[in-house]
Amino acid sequence: MEKIIAIADETQILWSKKPLIDRLSFLPNLSSLLIEHKEEYASIITSEMHKPITQALAEVEKCALLCKYYYENAETFLATKSIKTDASESYVVYEPLGVILGIMPWNFPFWQVFRFAVPTLIAGNTVVVKHASNVPKCGELIESIFNAAGFPKGCYQNLPIPSNKVSNIIANPTIKAVSLTGSEQAGVAVATEAGKHLKKCVLELGGNNAFIVLEDAVLEKAVAIAVNARMQNAGQSCIAAKRFLVHETILDAFIEKFKIAIQNLKTGNPLDRDTQIGSLARVDLAEELEQQVQKSIQMGAQLITGGKRYEAFFEPTILTDVTPIMPVFKEETFGPVAVITTFKTIDEAIELSNQSEFGLGVSLFTQDVDFIKTKISAFNEGAVFINEMVKSDPRLPFGGIKKSGYGRELAEEGLKEFVNVKTVVINIL
């Protein structure tokens, strides 16, 4: 561990002195490698965490788009900013912090890493990445991809350590900041350790997103998006729609269409191109989901379809008559379980949506866009999507509030998370 961090430190000193245009010059190579070898990379993703191969391919392709986006925009984002003051000259420059630790999850084993590492590197930092223990091949592979793209040795290094060693890494004086994508519990542990050493951290934690269907929604489109929003990656996503709030007048129609769509999803071997739902990443994750569902049914939730577990596979499931006191409403469900609650008014929907310890995003479906735009500020969320599912996009800042964490990834905001915003004031006497 100490050797890896020392190499990162030595490399960072030289790397930070390279002109930005030189640091950016490696991104086209990185993007090309991702596209050229996407079949190979996607198969490794699928073999390690069971994501359907078509979704793994899309994940790799999205990483390539991220590289292209920052290649085209980073110079503008990091340009010196002149500010008019009483001084002769005033401006702000953006300088790297040093070596940054990334602690990454298994559910999007390429995308989560690339969206942290690419902007952090081109800002002039180097990175060491502790990847999830159940995707070790992905961790090793990503390091080899950065090396093959021409990044100097030490810019990106995989750190194959167990979780109980993370505190030692954060405490290391060479590590200047931390980025974590993971659970609420992991966020508390990392933030506590970083706080002890006065180090900045960015936390992208859990989510319990509401998916609100208003009375005037185009139902067919809302249902089609709802299926993808909940069932993509077998529901193993922090930004997946988890709580479906449906206006009482369209409840029966929504449930019927949603049920048919869910039951028509193709399950099977995740390496088959027509498979839409694979198993969860681990058996213990499926067991935890099963407990949440069973306890909620005991409390009065009605099972519409699914609900059974076979080892790590959990059937696509719909529960109705769900109330805010049930585990499937108040806790994050990390799997293919959709829970439905009704409302009468938009204010009631807003109240139900905000009745969560998380604040990552919300989706709303309506034809009266002008009206719903007046309600955006009422949602305690990091993102509001109207007539669309919540999703990440390199062009938009991504992150949440409350127990969903703090800080932002992607876009200009993500590029500037791990820089020193240095103010320069000059007076000519």
Q: Closest by alpha carbon to 322, among 346, 292, 283?
A: 292
pLDDT value at residue 133: 96
Among 238, 331, 332, 409, the active-site one is 238
- Catalytic option among 48, 143, 193, 204: 204
Residue 181 three-state SS: strand
* Predicted local confidence at residue 81, as pLDDT: 98
Give me the pLDDT at residue 367, please: 98
> Cα(299)–Cα(302) distance, rounded to whole angstroms?
9
Q: Are 195 and 186 in contact (CB under 8 A)?
A: no
- pTM, two decimals, is 0.97
Share the mean pLDDT of the chain: 98
pLDDT at 64: 98
Rounded CA gap, 307 and 338, in Å? Answer: 11
Q: Which residues of the chain have pLDDT under 50?
A: none
pLDDT of residue 368: 98
Catalytic residue at 238? yes
Q: 20-30 burial, b if ≥16 CB within 10 A, otherwise e?
A: beebbebbebb
Q: Supply the pLDDT for residue 83.
A: 98
Which residues is 385 bridged to in the sheet?
Answer: 363
Distance CA 367, CA 221 (A): 11
- CB contact set of 310 (below 8 Å; sequence gap of 6+): none
* Dist CA 258 CA 224 (whole Å): 8
Q: Which amino acid is at 271?
A: L
Give me the pLDDT at residue 77, please: 98
The pLDDT value given to residue 223: 98
What's the pLDDT at 250?
A: 98
**Annotated catalytic, 381?**
no
Q: Name all domains of the chain by residue range, CATH numbers in brackets.
A: 2-205+404-426 (3.40.605.10), 209-386 (3.40.309.10)
